[in-house]
């Protein structure tokens, strides 16, 4: 694509990067076919190609964002299906990141939208605040129908509906500690505790730590680590996101210097995509660029790391698992086979639901901020999953698990919980009534 930026504009490294991304797009439109918002809404401006044109126009003309571009960029899930499809290698992820930062700096959103986004940014990244908010949401759930009547309050209604009815107490596995290997030692890793996942489902990291230590891997939960910054990064709040990234880079650098790390394990693939991008996010920060690149190189999805450990073939379970491939894992990190190969080796029959490339509509806070599109994508996703007639649904991202779990009675668990169970750990919660598994489980 031809671009017309001035030399002065290109002196800004962010604009220069956006320009080089734009130049790669050849307008072919292949990406439209796999874009969930284009497939759902049928509007070119809600396709990757349409958004690329809007971003180009805004940046080239040095314009502040307007309502039109905000509408169409806000509707983008950042699912990155377009990057998987694009034959020209257009780096849409960094282009839309830049557009979101530009929007945040130049556009004043309507009051309710601003308040909702502020509240999400002030609550979700902090486990204590998030736990309290979930308890309040459980009390406020009867008001969801009322909020639904007012357009600007629909995100509140979506939030109330998504909140779980019960909130688990804080897990000991989320506290800073070193979990020693209980078999012949074969590695040392750190694990991200993060923010929302330990509140919504502490069992995920418990399963990951138990499995890894039984396999001979020492697992460190370092002091001081926190939210990866993905949530605010996707809101265009770059400084807040970079602060989170710097804090975690410092924490993991200390862990690397204090005993070494073979990997930084991430059990929430949305966070994994962002941590793998820390090297890029902090590339212009001389004090952090090198450390951040080292952290990104060490970041691994838990299944990516487990796949390197050569787990033994387990007895068949007689249980059908529909594997939901989270967008952040399949498109963001290009981790597609490891989770399925691990589940198969662990004795599960693995099914790929149709249209597996399409997002479930969770996408961070998307299911709160864009509840209508999100609900359509959720219904489509659940219909596709149910068509495989599974006993259980496995996914590697808490956002997807919550989204899909809110629309089906089929148990939804994290991939690592099934693996932990298959290799000697406890049966995952929710599978108590699933009777089709073998006697060895
Ligand atoms: S990231 Fe997803 S929703 Fe956004 S343009 Fe790409 S395919 Fe469409
Ligand atoms: S597939 Fe790639 S090159 Fe083609 S229109 Fe989409 S982003 Fe541009």
Atom nearest to 85 CA in ligand 2:
1
Cα-based distances in Å from 335 to 60, 305, 403: 35, 11, 21
What gap in Å lies between CA 120 and CA 107, rounded to an integer?
Answer: 18
What gap in Å lies between CA 320 and CA 437, rounded to an integer?
Answer: 9
Query: What is the 49 CA–ligand 1 centroid distance (Å)?
Result: 9
**Protein residue whose Cα sits closest to atom 5 of ligand 1:** 48
Cα-based distances in Å from 420 to 131, 147, 314: 26, 41, 12
What gap in Å lies between CA 418 and CA 70, rounded to an integer?
Answer: 40
Question: For 277-313, b where at least 16 C-beta lie within 10 A, e where not — what string?
Answer: bbbbbbeeeeebbebbbbbbebbbbbbbbbbeeebee
**Protein residue whose Cα sits closest to atom 8 of ligand 2:** 25
What gap in Å lies between CA 183 and CA 112, rounded to an integer?
Answer: 54
Query: What is the 95 CA–ligand 2 centroid distance (Å)?
Result: 13
List per-residue pLDDT tens for the chain, 441 residues long.
999 999 999 999 999 999 999 999 999 999 999 999 999 999 999 999 999 999 999 999 999 999 999 999 999 999 999 999 999 999 999 999 999 999 999 999 999 999 999 999 999 999 999 999 999 998 888 888 999 898 889 999 998 888 888 888 889 999 999 999 999 999 999 999 989 999 999 999 999 999 999 999 999 999 999 999 999 999 999 999 999 999 999 999 999 999 999 999 999 999 999 999 999 999 999 999 999 999 999 999 999 999 999 899 999 889 999 999 999 999 999 999 999 999 999 999 999 999 999 999 999 999 999 999 999 999 999 999 999 999 999 999 999 999 999 999 999 999 999 999 999 999 998 887 654 444 333
Instruction: Identify the sign of the CA torsion 157, 162, 164, 170.
Output: negative
Given a contact cutoff of 8 angstroms between Cβ atoms, the answer to whether 161 and 144 are in contact is yes
- Give the Cβ contact number of residue 372 at 10 Å: 11
**Closest listed ligand to the CA of 85:** 2
Asked if residue 95 has its Cβ within 6 Å of ligand 2, the reply is no
Which of 26, 37, 51, 93 gets mutated to test ligand 2 (max ligand atoms within 8 A of its CB)?
A: 26
Q: Give kind and range of the element (H or E) at residue 159.
A: helix 154-162
**Protein residue whose Cα sits closest to atom 3 of ligand 2:** 25
In terms of C-beta density within 10 A (0-12 exposed, 13-18 middle, 19 or more buried), how is residue 177 classed?
A: middle
pLDDT at res. 433: 62
Instruction: Collect all residues with Cβ–Cβ distance below 8 Å to 66 and sequence separation of at least 6.
Output: 107
Asked if residue 27 has its Cβ within 6 Å of ligand 2, the reply is yes
pLDDT at res. 438: 41
What gap in Å lies between CA 56 and CA 18, rounded to an integer?
Answer: 8
pLDDT at res. 22: 98
Query: What is the 373 CA–ligand 1 centroid distance (Å)?
Result: 13
pLDDT at res. 439: 35
Token duo for residue 434: 């699933």
Token duo for residue 38: 């284009």
Asked if residue 323 has its Cβ within 6 Å of ligand 1, the reply is no
């Amino acid at each position: 694509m031809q671009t017309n930026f001035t030399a002065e504009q290109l002196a800004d490294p962010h604009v220069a990067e956006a320009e080089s991304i734009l130049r790669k797009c050849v307008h072919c439109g292949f990406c439209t076919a796999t874009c969930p918002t284009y497939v759902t809404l049928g509007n070119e401006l809600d396709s990757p190609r349409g958004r690329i044109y809007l971003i180009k126009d805004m940046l080239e003309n040095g314009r502040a964002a307007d309502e039109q571009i905000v509408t169409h960029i806000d509707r983008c899930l950042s699912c990155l299906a377009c990057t998987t499809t694009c034959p020209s290698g257009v780096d849409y992820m960094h282009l839309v990141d830049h557009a979101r930062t530009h929007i945040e700096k130049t556009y004043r959103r309507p009051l309710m939208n601003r308040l909702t986004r502020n509240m999400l940014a002030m609550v979700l990244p902090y486990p204590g605040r998030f736990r309290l908010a979930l308890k309040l949401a459980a009390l406020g759930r009867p008001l969801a129908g009322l909020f639904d009547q007012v357009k600007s309050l629909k995100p509140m209604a979506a939030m109330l509906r998504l909140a779980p009815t019960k909130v688990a107490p804080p897990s000991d596995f989320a506290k800073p500690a070193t979990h020693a290997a209980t078999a012949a030692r074969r590695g040392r890793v750190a694990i991200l505790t993060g923010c929302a996942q330990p509140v919504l489902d502490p069992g995920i990291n418990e399963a990951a730590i138990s499995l890894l230590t039984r396999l001979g891997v020492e697992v460190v939960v370092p002091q001081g680590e926190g939210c990866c910054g993905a949530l605010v990064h996707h809101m265009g709040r770059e400084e807040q996101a970079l602060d989170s990234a710097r804090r975690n880079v410092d924490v993991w650098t200390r862990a690397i210097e204090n005993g070494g790390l073979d990997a930084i394990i991430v059990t929430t693939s949305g966070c994994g995509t962002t941590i793998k991008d820390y090297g890029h996010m902090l590339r212009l920060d001389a004090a952090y660029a090198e450390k951040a690149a080292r952290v990104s190189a060490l970041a691994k999805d838990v299944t990516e790391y487990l796949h390197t450990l050569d787990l033994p073939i387990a007895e068949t379970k007689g249980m059908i698992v529909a594997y939901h491939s989270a967008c952040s894992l399949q498109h963001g990190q290009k981790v597609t086979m490891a989770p399925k190969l691990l589940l198969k080796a662990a004795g599960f029959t693995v099914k790929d639901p149709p249209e597996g490339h399409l997002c479930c509509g969770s996408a961070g806070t998307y299911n709160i901020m864009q509840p209508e599109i999100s609900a359509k994508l959720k219904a489509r996703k659940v219909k596709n999953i149910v068509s495989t007639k599974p006993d259980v649904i496995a996914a590697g991202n808490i956002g997807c698990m919550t989204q899909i779990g809110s629309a089906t009675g089929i148990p939804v668990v994290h991939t690592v919980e099934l693996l932990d169970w298959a290799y000697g750990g406890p049966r995952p919660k929710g599978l108590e009534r699933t009777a089709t598994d073998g006697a060895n489980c």
